[in-house]
């Protein structure tokens, strides 16, 4: 009887552990399917392995998967307005979004370059230190000093096309993009500062 009671107690204690293990073993993103979906839907605009060669289209390689999924969902739901991206995002299920984002997150981004020495100096000052007298916070606080961002919270910026970054800052500034808290920061920047930040960010690594 003592042996039976001991075995029953052991089974009772082990059961939750097995249940938890079963829950943790749920399949994660399918990278092969993500690559296939990317090739079918995204590659024409965003390039092989997410390395866009078109300055108006963002580099997606090495971007945080959770951020990419959020953007795709918000294009689909019109929380981020872009008629072209709306069409593509609408084609994707949530599972396909997760698979694509996970695959892109594992692609290594190429190194970008800044082009204007004067703008780079100004951009670096703003990115690293902000503009205290105008209550503009340093970009590095959220996007990290090297532009790597913070997973699931703030996107990777380093190496992004300057033209695309400037376009997004201007969209935040004029209110046409309002799906993040960047509106309050960008609204305080002038044209030169937007251009300087975009140029500096392009060379971050």
> Would you tell me the crossing angle of helices 31-41 and 94-105 to the nearest 10 degrees?
100
Q: What is the pLDDT of residues 33-89, one digit of tens each?
A: 999 999 999 999 999 999 999 999 999 999 999 999 999 999 999 999 999 999 999
Q: What is the pLDDT of residues 97-106, one digit of tens each?
A: 999 999 999 9
Q: 37 - beta bridge partners?
A: none
Which tops the pLDDT comparison, 32 or 23? 32
pLDDT (mean) for 9-27: 46
Give the span between the Cα atoms of 72 and 66, in whole angstroms: 10
Which helix (H) or strand (E) element contains residue 157? Answer: none
The DSSP result for the chain, as a single string, is: -HHHHHHHHHHHHHHHHHHHHHHHTS----HHHHHHHHHHHTHHHH-GGG---STTS---TT--HHHHHHHHHHHHTTSS--HHHHHHHHT--HHHHHHHHHHHHTSPPPP-----HHHHHHHHHHHHH-BGGGTBPPTHHHH-TTS--BTTTB---TT--HHHHHHHHHHHHHTS--SSTHHHHHTT--HHHHHHHHHHHHT--
Is a pLDDT exceeding 80 seen at residue 13? Answer: no
- Band (5; pLDDT cuts 50, 70, 90): very low
Percent of the chain residues past pLDDT 70, beyond the cut: 87
Domains of the chain (ranges; CATH) run 31-105 (1.10.760.10), 117-202 (1.10.760.10)
Give the span between the Cα atoms of 9 and 174, in whole angstroms: 65
- Band (27; pLDDT cuts 50, 70, 90): confident
CB 96 within 8 A of CB 198: no
Q: State the virtual CA torsion across 56, 57, 60, 66 in degrees, nearest 10.
A: 100
Is a pLDDT exceeding 90 seen at residue 157? Answer: yes
CB atoms near residue 36 (< 10 Å)? 15
Determine the distance from the C-alpha atom of residue 1 to the mean position of all C-alpha atoms in its chain, rounded to a whole number.
60
């Amino acid at each position: 009887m003592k042996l039976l009671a001991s075995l029953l107690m052991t089974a009772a204690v082990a059961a939750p552990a097995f249940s938890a293990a079963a829950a943790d073993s749920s399949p994660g993103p399918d990278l092969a399917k993500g690559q296939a979906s990317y090739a079918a839907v995204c590659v024409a605009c965003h390039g092989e392995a997410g390395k866009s060669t078109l300055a108006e289209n963002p580099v997606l390689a090495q971007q945080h998967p959770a951020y990419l999924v959020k953007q795709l969902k918000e294009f689909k739901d019109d929380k981020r307005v872009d008629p072209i991206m709306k069409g593509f995002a609408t084609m994707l299920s949530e599972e396909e979004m997760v698979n694509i984002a996970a695959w892109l997150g594992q692609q290594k981004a190429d190194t970008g370059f800044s082009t204007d020495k004067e703008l780079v100096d100004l951009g670096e000052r703003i990115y690293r230190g902000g503009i205290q007298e105008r209550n503009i916070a340093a970009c590095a606080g959220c996007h990290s000093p090297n532009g790597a961002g913070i997973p699931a919270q703030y996107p990777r910026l380093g190496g992004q096309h300057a033209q695309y970054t400037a376009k997004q800052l201007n969209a935040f500034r004029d209110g046409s993009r309002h799906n993040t808290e960047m509106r309050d920061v960008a609204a305080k920047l002038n044209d030169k500062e937007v251009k300087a930040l975009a140029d500096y960010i392009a060379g971050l690594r």
